[in-house]
Structure 1
Amino acid sequence: MCGISGIFDTTGERAIERDLILRVNNTQSHRGPDESHVHLEPGLALGHRRLSVIDLATGSQPLFNQDGSVGVVFNGEIYNYQELMAQLKSMGYLFRTRSDTEVIVHAWSAWGEDCVHRLRGMFAFALWDRSMQTLFLARDRMGVKPMHYAWLPDGSFIFGSELKVLTAHPGFARAIDPLAVEEYFALGYIPDPRCIYQNAHKLPAGHTLTLRRGAAGRPQPRAYWDVRFTNANPIALKDAQAELLERVRESVRLRMVADVPLGAFLSGGVDSSAVVATMAGLSAAPVHTCSIGFDDPRFDETRFAQQVADRYQTDHRLDIVKGDDFDLIDTLAWLYDEPFADSSALPTYRVCQMARQHVTVALSGDGGDESLGGYRRYRMHLGEEAVRGRLPLALRRSMFGPLGRWYPKADWAPRSLRAKTTFQALSMDSVQAYCHSMSQLRSDERRALFSPAFQRSLGGYAALEVFRHHAAQAQTDDPLALIQYLDYKTWLVGDINTKVDRASMAHALEVREPLMDHQLVEWLATLPSDFKIRGGQGKLIFKQAYEPLLPRDVLYRPKMGFSVPLASWLRGPLKVRVRQALLGPHMRGCGYFNTAAIDRLVDEHNSGLRDHATALWMLLMFEAFLRLNAGDTSNG
């Protein structure tokens, strides 16, 4: 696991200063504390920060082929590198290392841009082919590893693992993109390919970007992979359960290859527990496991994690997050480089911090809910779809639209009485309804929050367009498959993978994700949706498959999620900070917000009249971003 960076003169071969590439590369030194190297030649600079995991002795980067004509900087792991290495050796390619990095160099020489189709793993890399004057960027299919890039006014192209690499370049202009602000306050993160800054981009998952020196125009990213939901596999449920166990076992086995200490996160949920159970079956030694608990029992799952740890006799470590563990706000704002409002980034940071004291590589259960139908929102959406399927949209709008407007927002009430969101969703089409359910702040709440001037700068744009764009590519009319596809393109990449990448790399910890193996994802997309959700039970096939391996309490208890007690924090120990930050100069001076609306949110939350924890946390993280970038941003 590493950090990569680079500067490429697209127009010629102007010299690039060594101090410049060193400076931008070292902004991400936390990603690779073991080594730092750069390569310079006319019109090109490549930088690499290394966390040594495989081939500790000879895996340094940038890594070039024998004649020095093709080189790469690479972040991630290629899990099938040994198989590819054997294949490439049979084709006559010579290897000087045992690293997966050298496989990429020779795979390019053998197969060109199609090399990405051969790679199984998590990766973001930039490859330079001097003979072709070509810079080739690629990102893994599930977007586990990040890649940011931008064109500068002088014709230079810059890229890096983190956005801070771009902002460290003196030629990069930090003009905030209003559309990114709209997307952030809708979703709590800024989805690919947008960044908070207008001229910065994220390379989308499953895409490549090819730049040829001297070519006219700016090339666009090209998709090389997508998941297709057929839901037509004729396999019987019992046979599918057996095959699922074998596929997960293979995926975990591939991810247990490392030349450094390896362990796993164990939250007590189904997915991480299944990964640990599988690891235990593949390892002669006890598996190292780490859990984070909370001193608030409403958010604590440690007793379930302990059941799994006891069953498999893991080397288990537990840390408790205290009720006042919120001193990471500025740390997180710096790590994520742009506004990011998933509060579970706090315990994720802590569990990575603890894990790194004992291991360098940790396996996680991320991705299981998306592929297997584990979220409660999936079941709710399918229930709403049953109603939408019986009544035409015009009738639903006239019937449920007014109810959605008039029904009170009962944050304090039991879930069964919180009907406002459901009424609103029933008045919408399927894609709009799912965007509505995924929105941290609904469209009406954002309109109330934004100033009139800022709303005009949006030009009518709404975050719903992100979901519309992806839905048009989904090629499925299955209700569950459609929202799973939408989650793959938005939530999984923009929130889950971003959260884990930044939190883990802050501690130079590599996290691997066996349930996001693309071959496993492709196979799961062939299964009927009722293998995943049936009779109100999510993850049906997964839970039944693991019944012999995991306690029933772990498999069938209600999902808790990795949450923190935000509402009480914001009314209690964070109360003064919230008021000072949200009513302070950065928020008032940026011109984005209706300050009276912020005043009302703060007052209503503090009084206990309403629960505005989500909105206040989003605003607090946005203020931290503005403050850390004070003087460098403007509303473009």
Structure 2
Amino acid sequence: MCGIVGIIDTLGTRDIDAQVLARMNESQLHRGPDEGSLHREPGVGFGHRRLSVIDLASGLQPLFNEDHSVVVVFNGEIYNYRELMTELTQLGHVFRTRCDTEVIVHAWEQWGESCVSRFRGMFAFGLWDRNQKTLFLGRDHIGVKPMFYALLPDGHFVFGSELKSLMTFPALSRKLNPQAVEDFFAYGYIPEPKTIFHDAFKLSPGHTITLKAGDNQIHQRRFWDLPFTPLAPLTEQEATNELVDRLRESVQSQMEAEVPLGAFLSGGVDSSAVVAMMAEQNKDMVNTCSIAFNDPSYDESTFANQVAQRYQTRHHTETVDTNDYGLIDTLAALYDEPYADSSAIPTYRVCQLARKRVTVALSGDGGDENFAGYRRYRYAMAEQKVRSLLPLSFRQPVFGMLGKLYPKADWAPRVFRAKTTFEALARDLVEGYFHGVSIMPDRVRDQLFSPHFRKDLQGYQAIEVMRAHAAKSPTDDPLSLIQYLDFKTYLPGDILTKVDRASMAHSLEVRVPLLDHKLVEWISGLPSSIKLHQGEGKYIFKKALEPYLPNDILYRPKMGFSIPLASWLRGPLKQSTRDAVLGPMMADTGIFNMSFLTDMVEQHQSGVRDYTAPLWTLLMFAAFLKNVLPDDANTRANIRDLLNPQLHSLNHQD
């Protein structure tokens, strides 16, 4: 696992400033503390920070082909590199190392842009071909590894593993993207391909970029999409048998390392399944790590211990105080742009613990998206059943009116909190699902923003992100469609972002066998009815694991990485929340309706309303302003002037 950066002069062959390139590279020291190297040639500069995992002796990057006409910097792992190395050797290519990075160079020489379709793994790389005067960037199928880029007015194209590397480049403006701000307060993160900055972007999962020297147009291509192609009919027993075989193979393929390797073990179904497969195939004891909380209502360590004992793992647990709110500023600096998933705090701690024992850890991320494990899938399908019985012409006025009239009852048991349900039933599936996952629903965001900022948005709404993905969906099955939306938004934008930044902050490589794209393709073809079955999410996954895990692991209620946010915001963080959310920096942006922010703070802290999620999101936005943007007059003026309403556009081709 590594950090990569690059600078390309699209207008010619200007010398690349060595100091600027070095600063970009060193900004990601945490991603690769073992080695750092630079390469410069006319018009091109590449940098690499290495965390040594495979081929410790000869895997130094930037790495070249035989005549040094092709150079690559690479972050990730290609799990099928041995097979590709054999195939490429038979085709006449000569390898000087035994590392997966060199496979990328020769695969490019052999197959060109289609080389990415041959790779099985998690990857983000930049490759320069001097003979073809071509820059080629690729990001893995699911988006496990990040890639940021910007084409700047001065003709430089820059890329890097983290946004902070681009922020060290002098020509990158700190001007904010108003659509990204709207997205953040809807989703709690900024979905691909946007970033918080007007001129910087994320390369979307399963996409490549090709850029020719002398041509400042970006040519972007999608090389993979989640298929949802129905499989040939299988009995339940056949499905469970094949699922275990495929899971076992995926885990095995990701266990190669020349450094200590282990796994996260939360005590939930997904991480427990990965550990079970690891223990089955590993003659040595598996290293497992988990965190416990001193508040029993948030603690799953008993279940993690149960799995660890069953598989005789070398288990390590540390107890974390549930009042672990001192990380707010650390997280803001780590994520580089606003990010409001509060489970980033325990994720940061479990990565910190794991790095004391291992350099590589396998995680169970992806199980909920693959097998419909989230409760929101169950709720969405229940709502969709009602929608299917009543036409939109009836639902829209009737449930829309009920949604407006029904009081917001945060204090009541869930069965009486019907406002959100009525609002969802007045919408179609995509809009209803968006409404259900939003940090702040439309009616709250309408009050959140100032009239000036709403004007800058020019009618843009965050629902357009999901609408755009739904329009390209390969399936119209309702459950599969919302799973597809999560694979395009929540999984890369929230879950994988969280794990990448938290792990790399501690120089820890995390691998995700449940997100092997071959496994994901196969799972997507399973019928929805055996993923969410009679209200039981992950039905087929749990049935497949019954020989490996006890029922109280498989069928207990899902907990997740939760922390007591509501009590924090009314207790130990009460004053700091007030100071940050209602402070001069937030007011100076011109983004917010400050009187509504005041109402939210007052009502939450007095217990009248529960604004936990909106206030945490505001708190993290304030932390972004404080910790990422320099606090000076020019920056504040730049934020106030958010906006040339015409958003920057590049010539992207998909």
Q: Structure 1 length as normaliser, TM-score?
A: 0.99
- 3-state SS, counterpart of residue 303 of structure 1: helix
> Which runs of structure 2 are paired with 1:8-23 in the superposition (5 Å)?
8-23=8-23
* Structure 1 CA distance for aligned equivalents of residues 450 and 319 of structure 2: 41
Aligned CA RMSD, in angstroms, stands at: 0.9
Give the SS at the match of 1:229: coil
Residue deviations 1:338-367 (CA, integer Å, cap 9, x gap): 000000000000000000000000000000
Does 1:555 pair with 2:554? yes
Residue equivalent to 2:51: 51
Corresponding residue number in structure 2 for 1:323: 322
Aligned residue for 1:76? 76
SS in 2 for 1:328: helix
Match of 2:382 in 1: 383
Q: 2:280 corresponds to which residue?
A: 281
Residue 494 of structure 2 is aligned to residue 460 of structure 1: no
Distance 2:582 2:503 in 1: 32
Once the two structures are superposed, what CA deviation does each residue of 1:177-196 show, in whole Å capped at 9, x if it has no partner? 11000000000000000000
Q: Which amino acid aligns with 2:545?
A: Y
**Superposition pairs of residues 441-520 of structure 1, within 5 angstroms:** 441-520=440-519
| 1:293 Cα deviation after fit | 2.0
The residue type paired with residue 365 of structure 1 is G
- The sequence identity of aligned pairs, in percent, is 61
Residue 241 of structure 1 is matched in structure 2 by 240
Kept in 1: contact 2:158–2:166 (CA 8 A): yes
CA distance in 2, matches of 1:503, 1:496: 11
CA distance, structure 1, for counterparts of residue 525 and residue 244 of structure 2: 16
The CA deviation string for residues 384-417 of structure 1, in whole angstroms up to 9 with x for no partner, is 1111111111100111111111212222222222
The one-letter code of the counterpart of 1:56 is L
| Contact 2:65 2:106 survives alignment (8 Å) | yes
Deviations 1:221-244 (A, max 9, x none): 210000111335311111010000
Question: Larger deviation: 494-503 or 406-415?
Answer: 406-415
Give the conservation status (yes or no) of the 8 Å contact 2:211–2:219: no
The residue that corresponds to 1:539 in the other structure is 538
Distance 1:233 1:419 in 2: 40
Q: Report the Cα distance in structure 2 between the residues aligned to 1:406 and 1:563, rounded to whole angstroms.
A: 32
How far, CA to CA, are the matches of 1:296 and 1:483 in structure 2?
34
Q: Aligned with 1:221: secondary structure? A: strand
- For 2:106, give the aligned amino acid: H
Are 1:177 and 2:177 matched, yes or no? yes
Point out the more displaced range, 421-430 or 313-322.
Answer: 313-322
Deviations 1:450-471 (A, max 9, x none): 1111111100000000000000
Quote the residue 1:37 is aligned against: 37
SS of the residue corresponding to residue 527 of structure 1 reads coil
**Shift of the alpha carbon at 1:220?**
3.5
Q: For the residues of structure 1 that align with 2:107 and 2:74, how far apart are their CA atoms?
A: 13
Post-superposition offset of 1:563: 1.0
Show the counterpart of 2:647: none
Quick one: which amino acid aligns to residue 189 of structure 2? Y
Local SS of the residue matching 1:327: helix
Between 1:579-588 and 1:224-233, the stretch displaced more is 224-233
Contact 1:76–1:145 under 8 Å retained in 2: yes
Checking the alignment, whether the CA contact within 8 Å between 2:298 and 2:562 is kept in structure 1 is yes
- Map of 1:604-619 to 2, 5 A cutoff? 604-619=603-618
Q: What are the equivalent positions in structure 2 for 1:329-408 lying under 5 Å apart?
A: 329-408=328-407
What is the letter of the counterpart of residue 229 of structure 1?
F
Aligned-partner Cα distance in 1 for 2:306–2:428: 43
SS in 1 for 2:209: strand
Give structure 2 stretches of 5+ with no counterpart: 644-654
Which residue of structure 1 lines up, in the alignment, with residue 198 of structure 2?
A: 198
CA distance in 2, matches of 1:314, 1:407: 52
Following superposition, the deviation at residue 323 of structure 1 comes to 2.5
Match of 1:41, as an amino acid?
A: E
Q: How does 1:105-254 map to 2 (within 5 A)?
A: 105-215=105-215, 217-254=216-253
SS of the residue corresponding to residue 214 of structure 1 reads coil
| Alpha-carbon contact 1:180-1:195 (below 8 Å) kept | yes
The Cα offsets for residues 582-608 of structure 1, whole Å up to 9 and x where unpaired, read as: 111111111111111111111111111
Q: Which amino acid aligns with 1:299?
A: Y
Q: Which residue of 2 aligns with 1:27?
A: 27
The residue number in structure 1 matching 2:620 is 621
SS at match of 2:149: strand
- For the residue of structure 2 that corresponds to 1:77, the secondary structure is strand
Q: Cα deviations across residues 563-621 of structure 1 (Å, max 9, x unaligned)?
A: 11100111111111101111111111111111111111111111111111101110010
Encode CA deviations 1:257-279: one digit per residue, 9 max, x unaligned: 00000000011110000000110
3-state secondary structure, aligned to 2:219:
coil
Amino acid at match of 2:33: P
Which runs of 5 or more structure 1 residues have no equivalent in the other structure?
Answer: none
Alpha-carbon distance between aligned partners in 2 of 1:209 and 1:394, rounded to the nearest angstrom: 44
In the alignment, the residues of structure 1 paired with residue 420 and residue 410 of structure 2 have an alpha-carbon distance, to the nearest angstrom, of: 11
Q: Secondary structure at the match of 1:127?
A: strand
Question: Hey, what's the Cα distance between the residues in 1 that align with 2:193 and 2:232?
Answer: 33
The one-letter code sitting in structure 2 at the alignment partner of 1:210 is T
- Once the 2 structures are TM-superposed, how far is the Cα of residue 551 of structure 1 from its aligned partner? 1.1
The secondary structure found in structure 1 opposite 2:322 is: coil
* Contact kept? 2:166, 2:172, Cα under 8 Å: yes
Give distance in 2, aligned partners of 1:544 and 1:82: 34
Quote how far apart the aligned CAs of 1:535 are: 0.8
Q: What is the rounded CA distance, in whole Å, between the counterparts of 1:489 and 1:175 in structure 2?
A: 26
Residue 101 of structure 1, CA deviation: 0.1
Question: Is contact 1:134–1:212 with CA below 8 Å preserved after alignment?
Answer: yes
Is the Cα–Cα contact under 8 Å of residues 323 and 569 in structure 1 kept in the other structure?
Answer: no
Aligned to 2:432, the other structure's residue is in SS state helix
Asked if 1 retains the 8 angstrom alpha-carbon contact of 2:265 and 2:275, the reply is yes
Output aligned runs, 1:525-536, within 5 Å.
525-536=524-535
Q: Which stretch shows the higher mean deviation, 182-191 or 321-330?
A: 321-330
TM-score, normalising length: structure 2: 0.96
Instruction: Work out whether residues 210 and 219 of structure 1, in 8 Å CA contact, stay in contact via their aligned partners in 2.
Output: yes
Query: Which stretches of structure 1, 4 residues or longer, exceed 4 Å deviation after superposition?
Result: none
Counterpart CA distance in 2 for 1:627 and 1:527 is 47
| Residue of structure 2 in register with 1:88 after alignment | 88
1:210 CA displacement: 0.2
| Secondary structure at the counterpart of residue 326 of structure 2 | coil
1:434 alignment counterpart: 433
Equivalent residue, structure 2, for 1:295: 294
CA contact (8 A) 1:231 1:529 kept: no
1:175 aligns to what SS in structure 2?
coil
**What is the deviation of 1:164?**
0.6
SS of the residue corresponding to residue 320 of structure 1 reads strand
Q: Read off the aligned partner of 2:34 and give its amino acid letter.
A: D
Distance 1:151 1:318 in 2: 45
Of stretches 369-378 and 315-324 in structure 1, the one that deviates more from structure 2 is 315-324
What residue in structure 1 maps to residue 563 of structure 2? 564
